[in-house]
Amino acid sequence: MTGDQTRSQPENYNVGSYIAHRIEELGVSDYFVVPGDSNLTLLDKLLENPRLRMVECCNELNTGYAADGYARALETRTAVVVIPYIVGGLSILNAISGARSERLKVIVISGCPSTTVFVQGKATHHTPSPTNKDHALHAFQGVTAASVRVTSAESAADVIDDAVVKCVKKSLPVYIEVPQDIADAQCRVPRPLNQKLEEAKQPNRNIEALKAIRDVWDSANRPVLLIGGQVQVSLSRETIQRLVDTLGCPVFCQPNGRWISESHPQYWGPFWPGILDSDGENAVKNSDLWLGLGTAWSDLHSPAMDQTTNKHRIVSIQYDRVDLPNDRVIEMVELGDLVLALIESGISNKPASLPHFKLSHPAHIQAEIKNSEDPLAMTSLFTGIQNTLKEHSTLIADVGDTWFAACHLKLPPGVDFHMQLPYASMGWGVPATLGAQIARSQGRVVLLVGDGAFQMTAQEISTMVRMKLNPIIFLFNNLGYKAETVMHDGPYNYIANWDYTKLATSFFQEAHAESHNPFTEGDVEKGFDLPVFAEKIQSQADLLRALQRVETENDKLAFLECCIHPDDMTPELLKLGDSMP
């Protein structure tokens, strides 16, 4: 939680200002919204807090994806969205399912009709039937730690706090409905959230888990550490670095778990069996213990490997449990505290006793960019993207060959990387870029997105332009759903080819009427220099010119449409296609 959040707080609280106070205590400065008739009073109350910024998105699905990106990039790994009743809730549900898959703390607040509508049984709009007013509440139960509705002003604070505490303690999304007539009702002054979290503490089994892990570790001769994607919700890079130094063994990262400096001498590369680097895969398989930290074993994480056949040599440390050989499970652990205890336990340092293969790290597969009219090639594009990655950059890869393009890049120190591998929702990347750029504004977000994924959520570019954000977007235009064509081709994999560069610069224009927005002095003035530029890249020379513009106009959103021949794809994508049923 943040430090002193008590300055300039009101003496009297209503439910809306109470929620705003809790948002601040969570370390959140921005919240994502779509307005609707059921949440307007609540939005008015949230706007009264000058330390919070409202970010309006184009639709509810995109608010969820934006919150996902924000939660990944923000230090406290938390995000908040406010949406309308049921129509908004069911729209955002897909994005929250993705956040659930990676234990992101996303608080979804939905407006809903006044309490009289529920008490009197009145029919109301946005409901699938007159008798089904709880549709969203039920739908969210499967993907949240709490799905609740405030039913009175007297109980509002308790209901809200219970959900927020569950969100933080379990590191899972929650869903809260706030009736229109309660949003501005008076409620009690909030107690500090840290006190509420302390009271909710449960006994843990960290001591038992630590001993069990050390017993297995001590019996191993050739251990490796595997880092998975879920470490980012609980552990800092510094903590991971200390653990790596303590253990001394080779370190591999799952494709969505690149949370260690790639120049560290113990980093041996990515671990994506059947897809990347057979030498690295053999090194892991030749070890006698896999110590997994936040790892996952979906069909996309290991399409060519049956994880169950290796259970005898895997210790998997997860957010709230430890899985050990012989099907032993220790639940009720706290990952952050357990890892710190492991570091300080005097555990033996075990340098590599494996054959140190000359790992052919895929980041080496790049090519020089020539100042010529030769067609743009993927390998040259990798070099161009690599050159845009600076300290504090955030690299985001949407679903598709962009996943593997990211694997061909070496992450410089201070660069964060995010991909939504377990849920794999195409279209996540553009709104997630919006959220990540807002949360981590000291560097630029670099997005790799295919043309098919872009068409699903393209409109959120307008929010980036309106907010004058400056991410770098590489659109891989390979004329369709290339990841699907390698798995199972058919006419459904081919899409309309948009004029993407014209589209990117069309999202923000001068208004057709004066004073159309009485709440602002005006977004676009006469002669306004649009804070975005777009380039169509068809040749190597085009790429060089575009990259130069990225550097010289670094305060603008850079949109680069990379025209890639449909047959020019990574070998890893072909392997994925061959491995899927």
CA separation for the pair 549, 546 (Å, rounded): 5
CA separation for the pair 72, 65 (Å, rounded): 11
Are 396 and 419 contacting, i.e. CB atoms less than 8 angstroms apart? yes
Judge whether 480 is annotated as a binding position. Answer: yes
CA separation for the pair 460, 61 (Å, rounded): 11
Quick one: angle between helices 15-25 and 153-170, nearest 10? 20
One-letter-per-residue 3-state SS of 471-527: CEEEEEECCCCHHHHCCCCCHHHCCCCCCHHHHHCCCCCCCCCCCCCCCCCCCCCCC
How many angstroms separate the most distant Cα atoms in the chain?
A: 75
Tokens of 199: 């009271």
CA separation for the pair 18, 154 (Å, rounded): 13
Element of type H or E holding 316: strand 314-317
Q: Nearest-CA neighbor of 419 among 392, 450, 442?
A: 450
CA 165 centroid distance within chain: 21
Judge whether 336 is annotated as a binding position. Answer: no
Edge-to-edge strands, sheet with 30-33: 53-56, 30-33, 78-83, 105-112, 174-179, 146-149
Tokens of 19: 């929620």
Are 477 and 500 contacting, i.e. CB atoms less than 8 angstroms apart? yes
User: Annotated binding residues, as ranges?
Assistant: 451, 478, 480
User: Annotated binding residues for Mg(2+), as ranges?
Assistant: 451, 478, 480
